[in-house]
Structure 1
Amino acid sequence: MTAAPAVGVVLTALPAQSAVAGGIIYDAPETQRQAARLRDRAANLDHTGDHSAAQRARSEADSRRQRVRWCVDTETNV
């Protein structure tokens, strides 16, 4: 149920660089910024010694970058 309000917000405020994949809209630049923030967070967690949390943050950043690649590939191959 929490996903529905988030999708509504995304649908009402589409930036120029949005990508649509499978009916889901991704803001590619924002998703890339989120991935960069997650990478920074992972570096900080590694520095403080929380390596398992750092790995989870890196994994999430990788999945966000992959989603952006898929969306861009989908747009260019249509």
Structure 2
Amino acid sequence: MKTGRKNNNSGFSLVELIIVIAIMAVLVGVMATSITSLTGRRVRKCADEIVTTLERTRVLTLGKEQNQVECVISYNDTT
């Protein structure tokens, strides 16, 4: 027995949309945390390399006479 209404299911329900938005929010949160921790590690590594270079330069400078110059070149390509 047919009534006068059409059964039109060509869309998403409100519950489905809310679930999809919640899943996307969780994924974006996890990705943001991962990116932040990776960037933090890189910054920390770069800062450690700068400190090491400055300490090495200080030791070399304090151990030399005024008239001598020493040039140290190091190639550390770890990127």
TM-score, with length taken from structure 2: 0.37
Higher relative contact order (CA 8 A, sep 6+): 1
Over alpha carbons, which structure has the higher Rg? 2
- From the two aligned structures, give the one with the greater strand fraction: 1
- From the two aligned structures, give the one with the greater helix fraction: 1
